Amino acid sequence: MPEQIAAARSDARALAHAIYHRLQDAYGAPTWRPQYAPMDELVLTFLSQSTSDLNSGRAFGALKARYPTWPAALNAPVEELAETIRSGGLARQKAPRIQAALRRILAERGEFRIDFLADLPVDEGLRWLTSFAGIGPKTASIVLLFCFDKPAFPVDTHVARVSRRLGIASPKDSEQKIKGIWEALTPAAWYYPLHLNLIRHGRQVCHARAPQCGACVLNDVCRYADKT
């Protein structure tokens, strides 16, 4: 039995490494660089819940245009803030959560900054971020990875779908379990490019309803039962 377990782990690691290298050959090797300041990324995680990147980006742009500073966003009437971010969906839920987070950060840190996360172990950073209503493991991992290059692997719907189809994860594995699988099978230096390339592959090839299996660079190693 121990030998079978070791063999299964070795096979899974070999599959994960093949996926990483093939996606990199197909899409390139994204280089880590912070796109947003940490506080901006944090607020964007609230806006990204249950909506597309396009809609959350529009909502974030509207928020920053109307409230150039975080004190302005915190002190705005919550109904006004909700109307400002309406394009991101669930605005009446997200607006009070954003203000609650801003209020707590100011109380705890004395300023609107979360750069201290760069010095925390990953598990502590995840614990602190997910203690905010509206932030789950995926969005917390995005903040840590995208802002501070910390070894946390975010799993969104695209990453989860591709992972399950490829056989890296089982069909019913949760996004949180899939996160742990990738982190166990790949080195931390791969997390950023692998995350982005899995998303790109999910958007361009491995679609939810009609995957383009014939054009997939992973077709021969994919274990999806319903290949088109």
Q: Which of 64, 94, 138, 150 is catalytic?
A: 138
pLDDT digits (tens, 9 = 90+) for 90-120: 999 999 999 999 999 999 999 999 999 999 9
Give the angle subtended at the CA of 149 by the CAs of 63 and 85, to the nearest 5°: 10
Q: Are residues 45 and 107 in the same domain?
A: yes
- What total number of domains does the chain contain? 2
CATH code for position 207 = 1.10.1670.10
What confidence tens digit (pLDDT) does each residue in 2-59 have? Answer: 666 666 778 999 999 999 999 999 999 999 998 899 999 999 999 998 898 899 999 9
One domain, residues 63 and 143: yes
Q: Report the 3 state secondary structure along 141-195.
A: HHHHHHHHCCCCCCCCHHHHHHHHHHCCCCCCCCHHHHHHHHHHHCCHHHHHHHH
Does residue 23 sit in the same domain as residue 79?
Answer: no
CA dihedral of residues 57, 62, 65, 66 (deg, nearest 10): -150
Among 148, 182, 206, the domain boundary falls at 148
> What confidence score (pLDDT) does residue 228 get?
78
Active site residue 138: yes
Please indicate, yes or no, whether residues 57 and 140 belong to a single structural domain of this protein.
yes
Whether residues 19 and 64 share a domain: the answer is no
Q: Quick one: tokens of 188? A: 């931390």
How much is the pLDDT for 45? 92
Tokens 């958007």 belong to which residue? 203
Q: For the chain, what's the residue count?
A: 228
pLDDT at 10: 86
| Domain region containing 83 | 38-148
> What pLDDT score does 37 carry?
96
Q: d(Cα 11, Cα 7) in Å, to the nearest integer?
A: 6
Side-chain half-sphere exposure of 6, counting CA atoms within 13 A = 3
